[in-house]
Structure 1
């Protein structure tokens, strides 16, 4: 699968002013951007050269700087080293502690320092990031800073990385208690997705990733929603791995494929977010504030799930979705073992989150609300009164549901 955001390669220099010596100039240029997202099964098998060829470089010999989470090093470090040894590649590993609290400029500068020590070549030695969405965001941000742009390769090992964090153009770190407040648009040259990594992912992180899958299903793919509604608990039980001999062994692959394909279809024509009407912002109006306020209780997808539950109520109360659709969405959230409430969900937090959305979206709410399952509409007139009433209902419904975070 290839996602390309390609602009015409044009340039020009316009001289303005009516005199023989110009008083101002306007420089116009454009740079094509192309990056690849590829499925690879058995990525660390020495017979597969995808990882050493990623970034368009020769697979024979050379060096690679590999940035990994400490947990990934414990699980796969030996396999990674053996893989590069088999290809005659000298690999150096940089280990990071990754959590939402550690997603900071300081962590990015640790990667920058490792790149400097390694003496990385921007032409022939793309840095390789192996880990979850926090790690790939940090590495991407560091790569965008180092010598103003250094190529890198992403190997997401979590579901949320595979379907969301590691397939777009954005990088970012948290700052001053704000989610991804510092960042850049710097996609990796290649993202390699191997679902085998999901075998060692714990149950909660599978659910966490399925929240982003559910986001795409509710806003753009009703068939994907139906798959989650029918198979959600089993997908978690089986870690989205195909079951040999099963009559529906392809469900997990289809769920992941549809989530990635839907995300890339939305991102590609608006990669730099010049258009602020983005259906993929669904679930991300209130969740940044909820997530940062609730740390370390909530994972990213769990905060997105609470946002989706909250805005589902807002949409139903406006008559945009039916009571039956509302019930289906809450049922899928429950089946995917996702929370719909956290104690930080107070009216003052929600109103502050809405105010931040307005600042972020050029003075307008431009909030995506469901317009039936599989569709969205954008609204600019959500009131504090609506937030209050919907929040009270959400609290009541959460109190009737077991297993929610208190």
Structure 2
């Protein structure tokens, strides 16, 4: 038998910068305009709020909704690329929240087998979490983010000035992810979050964005493909995604994650995987910011199917990220989806 080796053992540097500031994005967009190679995917709300930013660039305006996070939207974006004769020297600049970044990044990853893209997050949630790390994707067959790719951006541009036009609901959706980072990775940071007056400080918000980006950058460096450490970032997301689906996406992602963190912490405590103090401290900090953590399941079959469809599941069991102590994370395997759902049901 003949054998031919395809030797792919080589170092590829996908490193990139995250630039964080206030009021600099117009200069960056002007620079893209000068190159003549940038195509823009812009969230419809952002486009309407900042029309002058995009008046001289080639734009595809996207209505970012969970129900439109699908193949049809990807097809429309790919058609936009083709219509504008995009090639591998073009770059996609994705401007918007997490949905826009996920869909745009996925479209960039498959067009001509990959063109560069830049993330410009405009929501607090996308600034502190989804814009960094290279997770792209769409929902499929009722399962959140089932289809996608790990595809790193060329750079991430975070202008906190976008937060000035963000609704309170969207802002608090993002802040839940900040609490997640602190609960699993940084005890001192968690203690700082107990002071709700910090939300009134633009300096603190910029600090929180940088802190979360630093934590995630280190995690992605060590575990880009989510085979180990990166799974801890899913704290609150197993139950959270089920809440989103069960509620018909009327509960926004971050608010669902807040619910998920509490119930997953409660489940971990009951199983002896987390200290009781974790449950109390987590409940207290969520209460400070008035998160509604009580959730009544609407459709048990739908909720259970959502749990079992979790991408971290193995066979019929779940893999759950928990916080044994505040500032520390661990993974619990072989979790029963039925038991986890019962924990949610019993606590309402």
RMSD over equivalenced CA pairs, Å: 2.5
| Change in 2 beyond 3 A, CA 1:389/1:194 | same
Residue matched to 2:62: 96
1:159 lines up with 2:115 in the alignment: no
1:194 lines up with 2:159 in the alignment: yes
Q: Could you say which structure has the higher helix fraction?
A: 2
Q: Of residues 25, 29, 34 in structure 2, which corresponds to 1:44? A: 25
- Structure 2 residue ranges without an equivalent (≥5): none
SS at match of 1:343: coil
Describe the superposition over 1:150-187 as per-residue Cα deviations: whole angstroms up to 9, x where unpaired.
11111100011111111111100111111011101112
Q: Of residues 272, 282, 289 in structure 1, which corresponds to 2:225? A: 272
Q: How does 1:223-234 map to 2 (within 5 A)?
A: 223-231=188-196
Count of equivalent residues: 347
Residue matched to 1:116: 82
Residue matched to 1:355: 308
1:328 lines up with 2:281 in the alignment: yes
CA distance in 2, matches of 1:346, 1:78: 45
CA contact (8 A) 1:155 1:191 kept: yes
Report deviation, 1:52: 5.0
CA distance in 2, matches of 1:358, 1:128: 28
CA distance in 2, matches of 1:98, 1:154: 15
Report deviation, 1:319: 3.9
Q: Of residues 239, 243, 246 in structure 2, which corresponds to 1:290? A: 243
Report deviation, 1:229: 1.2
Worse overlay, 332-341 or 350-359: 350-359
Residue matched to 1:14: none
Report deviation, 1:307: 1.1
Worse overlay, 250-259 or 205-214: 250-259
Q: TM-score, normalised on structure 1?
A: 0.78
1:183 lines up with 2:148 in the alignment: yes
Report deviation, 1:367: 1.7
Q: Of residues 64, 89, 96 in structure 2, which corresponds to 1:131? A: 96
CA contact (8 A) 1:277 1:366 kept: no
CA contact (8 A) 1:129 1:135 kept: yes
Q: TM-score, normalised on structure 2?
A: 0.90
CA contact (8 A) 1:313 1:394 kept: no
1:310 lines up with 2:263 in the alignment: yes
1:254 lines up with 2:218 in the alignment: no
